[in-house]
């Protein structure tokens, strides 16, 4: 009798498990883990995209902010999540093109533990300065930094972030030294930049644009390869004197490795469709971003190219994080 009962229970559990697996995506809320604090570019993109996806799926899409360690806390959490499509990462050039070269040890493998789904947007960084800096353009900023002999505090969005590596690249190309002060994201760095605790910062356009337009910060140059349509008067770093300087700040959705191919395909199709909507396009472009919907393969290619580029910057600078 006991053996018969156990057999019956096993059959019931198997049927229930099969039914759960057979449920179409999405049958419950989806979490998109954001590697940075609220109010930054990654957070704004996640909330805009999530709202549109929620309409398509009939499920809530939750932005889960987990800042720290250059984005690696969030990336590791997603890498170790169930590969079912319900926990995703708003990945960035920081988490996928910098981390492998900069960090001596990671709790996950960037190449093996996360699967590309789609690029979302390129949100350029701009070099912004506290009003106390006696300079109006990049050449004058570099001259000022050289004259200060390493006394200037230069903020970043955190160790290992693109904001940090842009600073290292600028130091190398500009021939100056300065003190790197890492923060846990854009918002806290911006607070200290406005108060004068730090002097310069490479920051995303969405969080720095209001301060530049209000005259509270000086916009010096755009870090990306093209000028921004929302700040057309601001030259690129390359145009302003550091020829060849280019740092495109892309964001894209990643899933845990092992996520079924049909779920990846569904996620990709719905994300690309959402990015093509007027509502999401308007939010991204008004913040100075460029929509970048892609295939998973195209995103994988972007990651490979940027890993090579920023790996060289890390090696040349000697930067390393234990």
The dihedral of CA 200, 202, 207, 212: what is its sign? Answer: positive
Q: What does the block give as tokens for 208?
A: 């720095």
- The pLDDT score that the predictor gives to residue 275 is 97
- The pLDDT score that the predictor gives to residue 15 is 43
Q: Is the model's pLDDT at 173 over the cut of 70?
A: yes
Q: Do domains 29-123+249-317 and 125-222 have the same CATH topology?
A: yes
Higher pLDDT, 176 or 69: 176
Class of domain 29-123+249-317: alpha beta
DSSP H helices, 23-57, are 41-57
What backbone torsions phi and psi does residue 220 show, to the nearest 5 degrees? -100, -55
Model confidence band, residue 309 (pLDDT cutoffs 50, 70, 90): confident
Judge whether 110 and 185 are in contact, CB under 8 Å: no
- The pLDDT score that the predictor gives to residue 21 is 46
CA–CA separation, 141 and 92 (whole Å) = 28
CA–CA separation, 26 and 229 (whole Å) = 36
Report the Cα 179 to chain-centroid distance in Å.
Answer: 23
Q: Is the model's pLDDT at 103 over the cut of 80?
A: no
pTM for this prediction:
0.79
- The pLDDT score that the predictor gives to residue 22 is 53
CA–CA separation, 229 and 205 (whole Å) = 11
**3-state secondary structure (DSSP) of residue 8:** helix
Higher pLDDT, 70 or 257: 257
248-276: average pLDDT: 96
What backbone torsions phi and psi does residue 217 show, to the nearest 5 degrees? -135, 160
pLDDT tens profile 20-53: 445 789 899 999 999 988 877 889 999 999 999 9
Place of tokens 């960090």: 103
- The pLDDT score that the predictor gives to residue 316 is 78
Helix (H) or strand (E) segment spanning residue 218: strand 217-222
Helix (H) or strand (E) segment spanning residue 91: strand 87-92
Nearest partner of 255 among 71, 70, 65, 80, judged by Cα: 80
**DSSP readout, 184-212?**
SSHHHHHHHHHHTSS-EEEEEHHHHHHHH
Ordered by start, the domain boundaries in the chain are 29-123+249-317, 125-222
CATH of 125-222, one of 3.40.50.970, 1.10.3720.10, 3.40.190.10, 3.40.50.300: 3.40.190.10
Query: Among 4-13, 45-54, 59-68, which stretch is predicted with the lowest mean pLDDT?
Result: 4-13
Place of tokens 């957070």: 43
Q: What does the block give as tokens for 307?
A: 């890993």
Judge whether 212 and 113 are in contact, CB under 8 Å: no
């Amino acid at each position: 009798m006991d053996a018969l009962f156990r057999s019956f229970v096993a059959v019931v559990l198997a049927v229930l498990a099969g039914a759960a697996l057979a449920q179409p995506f999405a049958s419950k809320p989806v979490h998109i883990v954001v590697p940075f604090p609220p109010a930054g570019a990654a957070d704004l993109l996640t909330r805009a995209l999530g709202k549109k996806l929620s309409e398509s799926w009939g499920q809530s899409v939750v932005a889960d902010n987990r800042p720290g360690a250059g984005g690696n806390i969030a990336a590791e959490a997603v890498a170790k999540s169930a590969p079912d499509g319900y926990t995703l990462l708003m990945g960035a050039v920081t988490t996928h093109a910098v981390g492998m070269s900069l960090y001596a040890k990671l709790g996950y493998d960037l190449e093996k533990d996360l699967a590309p789904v789609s690029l979302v947007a390129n949100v350029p960084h701009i070099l912004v300065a506290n009003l106390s800096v006696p300079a109006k353009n990049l050449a004058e900023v570099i001259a000022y930094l050289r004259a200060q002999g390493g006394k200037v505090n230069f903020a970043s969005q955190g160790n290992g972030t693109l904001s940090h590596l842009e600073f290292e690249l600028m130091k190398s190309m500009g021939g100056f030294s300065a003190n790197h002060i890492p923060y846990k994201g854009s918002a806290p760095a911006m607070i200290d930049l406005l108060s004068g605790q730090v002097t310069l910062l490479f920051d995303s356009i969405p969080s720095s644009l209001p301060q530049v337009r209000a005259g509270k910060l000086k916009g010096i140059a755009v870090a990306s390869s093209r000028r921004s349509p929302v700040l057309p008067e601001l030259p690129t770093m390359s145009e302003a004197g550091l020829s060849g300087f280019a740092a495109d700040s892309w964001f894209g959705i990643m899933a845990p490795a092992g996520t079924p191919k049909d779920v990846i395909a569904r996620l990709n199709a719905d994300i690309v469709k959402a990015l093509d909507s007027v509502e999401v396009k308007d939010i991204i472009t008004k913040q100075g971003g460029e929509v970048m919907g892609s295939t998973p393969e195209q995103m994988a290619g972007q990651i490979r190219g940027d890993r090579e580029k920023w790996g060289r910057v890390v090696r040349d600078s000697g930067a390393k994080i234990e």
